[in-house]
């Protein structure tokens, strides 16, 4: 019997949620027995070459590349999980949402205290750079998400319990201890 295929991606975030996946410690060996990873930083596969059973997304959506990546995950994954606060609500990257994009760019490239070498006052404008969006969006505002695993980052046990339940087709058991915030 074929193993379920799992894909993961990190959008606008800190990669902490992927670190929590790795924090399942020795259970990662059990997970590898249960699933095949595909298109993930975990195995360094960069493009979809097959449909996946479960897609896990961390991070909010802040630019056109994030939108494309998230839509590709929705198209190629039967189940899509928003992992962590950035994917669920925009998280820390969304702190820029109250600031006009022009001000953000000027602070980053023209007027910031660490800006020293931009004497020509040039803002990045190469066609190959992703277009910055007007704000950071939670994933569910771009595509339909099926599950939400909260935390910053989510606890490893939360991720483990949810994945094993989805893989085995059982009810997800999420006791308070794995979702509490402190």
- Domain locations along the chain: 5-96+134-179
What number does CATH give the domain 5-96+134-179?
A: 3.40.50.700
The candidate with the shortest Cα–Cα distance to 2, out of 50, 39, 48, is 50
Q: What is the pLDDT of residue 180?
A: 64
Rg of the Cα atoms in the chain: 18
pLDDT at 143: 98
The answer to whether the CB of 90 falls within 8 A of the CB of 59 is no
First to last CA, the chain: 41
- Find out whether the peptide bond into 98 is cis, omega within 30 degrees of 0: no
Q: What is the pLDDT of residue 82?
A: 97
Phi, psi of 168 (to 5 degrees): -90, -5
Tell me the pTM. Answer: 0.90
Instruction: Give the bridge partners for 61, in sequence order.
Output: 137
pLDDT band at 101 (very low <50, low <70, confident <90, very high): very high
C-beta of residue 136 within 8 angstroms of C-beta of residue 12? yes
Question: Smallest Cα–Cα separation from 64: which of 178, 142, 122, 7?
Answer: 142
Q: Which whole number is the average pLDDT over 23-50?
A: 89
Residue 80 confidence (pLDDT):
98
Taking 90 as the threshold, does the pLDDT of residue 181 lie above it? no
Residues near 135 by Cβ (< 8 Å), separated by ≥ 6? 90, 94, 96, 97
pLDDT band of 117, cuts 50, 70, 90: confident
| Mean predicted confidence (pLDDT) in 40-67 | 93
Q: How confident is the model at residue 65 (pLDDT cuts 50, 70, 90)?
A: very high
Handedness of CA 33, 85, 106, 68 (dihedral sign): positive
Q: Place 178 in a pLDDT band, splitting at 50, 70 and 90.
A: confident
Q: Which residue has the higher pLDDT, 165 or 114?
A: 165
Q: What percent of the chain has pLDDT over 90?
A: 74
Report the alpha-carbon distance of residue 163 to residue 147 in Å, rounded.
11
């Amino acid at each position: 019997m074929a193993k379920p295929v799992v894909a993961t991606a990190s959008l606008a975030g800190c990669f902490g949620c992927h670190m929590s996946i790795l924090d399942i410690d020795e259970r990662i060996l059990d997970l590898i027995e249960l699933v095949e990873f595909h298109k993930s930083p975990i195995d360094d596969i960069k493009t979809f070459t097959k449909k996946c059973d479960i897609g896990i997304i961390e991070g909010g959506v802040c630019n056109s590349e994030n939108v494309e990546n998230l839509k590709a995950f929705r198209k190629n994954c039967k189940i899509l999980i928003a992992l962590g606060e950035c994917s669920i609500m925009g998280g820390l990257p969304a702190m820029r949402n109250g600031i006009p994009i022009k001000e953000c760019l000027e602070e980053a490239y023209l007027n910031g205290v660490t800006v020293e070498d931009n004497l020509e006052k040039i803002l990045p404008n190469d066609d190959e750079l992703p277009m910055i969006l007007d704000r950071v969006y939670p994933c569910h505002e771009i595509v339909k998400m099926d599950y939400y695993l909260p935390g910053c980052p989510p606890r490893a046990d939360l991720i483990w319990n949810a994945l094993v339940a989805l893989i085995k087709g059982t009810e997800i058991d999420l006791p308070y201890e794995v979702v509490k915030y402190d």
